[in-house]
Amino acid sequence: MRIGIFTNTYLPSVNGVANSIRAFRRGLEAEGHTVFVFAPSAAGYPEEDDFVLRFPARALPRYPDYPLPLPLAPGFAHTAAQLGLDLVHTQHPWLLGAWGVRFARRHRLPVVTTIHTQYEMYAHYAFPIPPALLRPGLRGAVRRYCNRCDVVATPGLAMRDYLVDLGVRRPIEVVPNATDLSGFDTADGAEVRTRHGIAREDVLYLFVGRAAREKSLDRLIEAFALVAAELPEAKLMIVGGGPELEPLRALAARQLCADRILLPGPVPHDTVAEYHAAADVFVTASVTEVQPLSLNEAMCARTPIVGFNAGGINDMVCDGSTGLLADPAEGPKGLARLMLGLGRDPTMRQTLALEAQRYSFRYHIPHATHRLLEVYADTRGRVFKL
């Protein structure tokens, strides 16, 4: 097949959607398919890939890592038409996603779309529009968009249920985001612990991901402060950059346990596996995630998970098997209770870690790609029967 992927974010941006597209592209090409990626241009980024086609884009001062694509490029439709695409796969309900659907309908091509998240939970990024005014419109826009596509894919069961409740009437398929887990199962975290002054007897709680409001990292710091008061060997490390990094550093500095909270910021991608391997427990306080790739990576590196029984976290974490889940109503205190229990029990950590690694491989590129190809085949079959 010749597949066109339309996305509002791609290299050099580093985020879950971009990483998933890269991983799926590798998997599809390994199976003999040709993949073209339609993405926004990025100032100063030298494009050396003939299979990536860039739309003009405008950098946003508040979010420089997310250039805004302008799907108005003259001649782009003609260029795309010459590629002989067999299927269009969009990654967002607007901008290049909407352009991709219009192109597909004009050329009678089947369309799969992936809904990666509950967009209404990110309404605060549309400053200065009040989120309460924006959320109903976002829900309606996602519903209408999905119902224009042939098949809707989403990474988890919780998101499938959300889309059904939203009024999506097209077939909805669960397709886990592909994750390149190469090297995570053999990573060694000793050097990371030495570099950051973490002793062998210390219990290291880790979060890896974007420092953004929806990650609820302020609640994670609050939970850790409760743990640190009872577990002297506890340390917390939050790895990743983003708009909330400096406010989080300021929050951490105000804690009594400030000397045990590390926020190194973003790290080179090729060292992420070592950070996961260095940790004793991976902790997330978010309740809006669908399928964070960092959880796949942590589990593959034999790190058990602590989080809330909400969003897509409970799609990925089997409570009592690959990690522990708290009731969201308990808030930071519930998270701290599980963190403390696991921090004090190395035997349980080891048991959960082994099962987490075994479970993680369902997200590895070959397995996730096989599932995506099943959806592609089903989509083409549906369309051709119309």
Tell whether the model's pLDDT for residue 175 goes beyond 50.
yes
The whole-number average pLDDT for the span 198-227 is 96
Q: Which residues pair with 40 in a beta bridge?
A: 55
Residue among 128, 85, 131 nearest 106 (CA):
85
> What's the confidence (pLDDT) of residue 290?
79
Query: Could you give the C-alpha distances from 150 to 107, 157, 218, in angstroms and in order?
Result: 14, 19, 40
Q: Same structural domain for residues 255 and 369?
A: no
Q: Specify the DSSP element, H or E, that contains 66.
A: strand 63-69
Q: Which residues pair with 262 in a beta bridge?
A: 237
Residue among 246, 325, 321 nearest 286 (CA):
325
Q: How far apart are CA 252 and CA 220, in angstroms?
A: 10
Q: Same structural domain for residues 293 and 172?
A: no
The whole-number average pLDDT for the span 217-237 is 98
Residues 248/264, Cβ–Cβ less than 8 Å: no
Domain count, the chain: 2
> What's the confidence (pLDDT) of residue 4?
98
Structural domain of residue 11, as residue ranges? 2-179+364-385
Residues 302/206, Cβ–Cβ less than 8 Å: no
Rounded to whole angstroms, the maximal C-alpha distance in the chain is 65
pLDDT band, residue 386 (cuts 50/70/90) = very low
Q: Same structural domain for residues 334 and 368?
A: no
Q: How far apart are CA 354 and CA 299, in angstroms?
A: 8
* Residues ≥6 apart with Cβ < 8 Å to 105: 111, 148
Q: Same structural domain for residues 202 and 148?
A: no
Q: Same structural domain for residues 52 and 153?
A: yes
> What's the confidence (pLDDT) of residue 179?
92
pLDDT tens by residue, 122-170: 665 655 666 666 778 889 999 999 999 999 999 988 899 999 999 999 9
Q: Same structural domain for residues 257 and 246?
A: yes
CATH value at residue 290: 3.40.50.2000
% of the chain beyond a pLDDT of 90: 78
Q: Which residue has the higher pLDDT, 289 or 8?
A: 8
pLDDT band, residue 60 (cuts 50/70/90) = confident
The DSSP secondary-structure symbol of 74 reads T
Q: Same structural domain for residues 73 and 105?
A: yes
Tell whether the model's pLDDT for residue 223 goes beyond 80.
yes
Q: Same structural domain for residues 26 and 153?
A: yes
Residues 379/172, Cβ–Cβ less than 8 Å: no
For 372, what's the count of Cα atoms within 13 Å in the CB-facing half-sphere?
33
pLDDT tens by residue, 249-274: 999 999 999 999 999 999 998 999 99
> What's the confidence (pLDDT) of residue 45?
84
Q: Which residue has the higher pLDDT, 320 or 269?
A: 320
Q: Same structural domain for residues 196 and 345?
A: yes
Q: Same structural domain for residues 60 and 155?
A: yes
Q: Same structural domain for residues 268 and 371?
A: no
Q: What's the mean per-residue pLDDT of the chain?
A: 93
What's the residue count for the chain? 386
| Helix/strand/coil percent split, the chain, to 5 | 45, 20, 35
Residue 55: how many other CB atoms lie within 10 Å: 20
Residues 339/205, Cβ–Cβ less than 8 Å: yes
> What's the confidence (pLDDT) of residue 118?
83
DSSP helix/strand/coil, 112: strand
Q: Same structural domain for residues 56 and 96?
A: yes
From 103-112, 234-243, 306-315, the region with the lowest mean pLDDT: 306-315
pLDDT tens by residue, 352-371: 999 999 999 989 999 999 99
Q: How far apart are CA 5 and CA 303, in angstroms?
A: 33
pLDDT band, residue 384 (cuts 50/70/90) = low
pLDDT tens by residue, 62-100: 777 788 898 887 888 999 999 999 999 999 999 999 999
> What's the confidence (pLDDT) of residue 200?
95
User: Parallel, antiparallel, or unpaired: how do β-strands 234-239 and 261-265 relate?
Assistant: parallel
